[in-house]
Amino acid sequence: MRAPVVLAMALTAASARADDAARFVGDLGLGVQRTQAGAPAAPARTRALPYAYGDYGPLFVREDTFGVKLAPVGWGALEAVGRVSTEGTAADGPGLAHRSNPRPLGLGTFQETPWGGVFVDAFVDTVSGGTLLEASYAAELPLGPLKMYPQVGVTRRSARYEAHLFDVHAASTTPVLQLSGEWPVAAHWVLLAHAQWEPFDRAERASARVDARSRASAFVALAWRFP
């Protein structure tokens, strides 16, 4: 059975279970993202994006990741997950074809431990057939009304995933660093921001599609917090 069908069935079942407690808890808003250019001669990209982070019964959304909680595990749950990816590239030079955005689907978990949050996700890209594995740890540092969330993780993209995006026939494993923060600005209104940095590995930097040593982005959003 194809992964999109499995995820659709899981979401349908979760929606049925959530009927008695259909209430969103979390943040909904609008933000602006600035992404560093990685391709040769490509400009940095600035765009407006919706922001969502929260739960609706067993359904959840965490910015670009969404899914359904399938079963309790540890301090969290086993989850069916999907990802809204923007890693696709345009035809940025002679002989370079357009590469569509990956569509990752898979399984994961978020563990909200007493010492911080642990995220682990394993995706299969339904476009390239490659795999994307991610693991990260986030801590919370309260500074008065401001809360900071330093996060460190690691990402592994398979050779097929890399070949689709960068014409590189080798897997890559890279660290990912992120710093997020939130500041309450009024009743129920929260200002959120984060910056993320991930280096390109040696094989990626050798690609004709890459003209940078790292990928970096920053995001700022104003959101309404549903209690």
pLDDT digits (tens, 9 = 90+) for 80-133: 999 998 887 665 554 556 778 899 999 999 999 999 999 999 999 999 999 999
For residue 2, pLDDT over 60 is answered with no
d(CA 191, CA 184): 6
For residue 227, pLDDT over 80 is answered with yes
Q: Can you tell me the mean pLDDT for 10-33?
A: 72
Name beta bridge partners: 91. none
pLDDT band at 151 (very low <50, low <70, confident <90, very high): very high
Residue 31, Cα to own-chain centre: how many angstroms? 15
Domains in the chain, CATH or no CATH each: 3-226 (2.40.160)
Residue 112, Cα to own-chain centre: how many angstroms? 17
pLDDT band at 208 (very low <50, low <70, confident <90, very high): confident
pLDDT at 5: 42
d(CA 210, CA 222): 32
pLDDT digits (tens, 9 = 90+) for 31-62: 999 988 776 666 778 889 999 999 999 999 99
If you count them, how many residues does the chain have?
A: 227
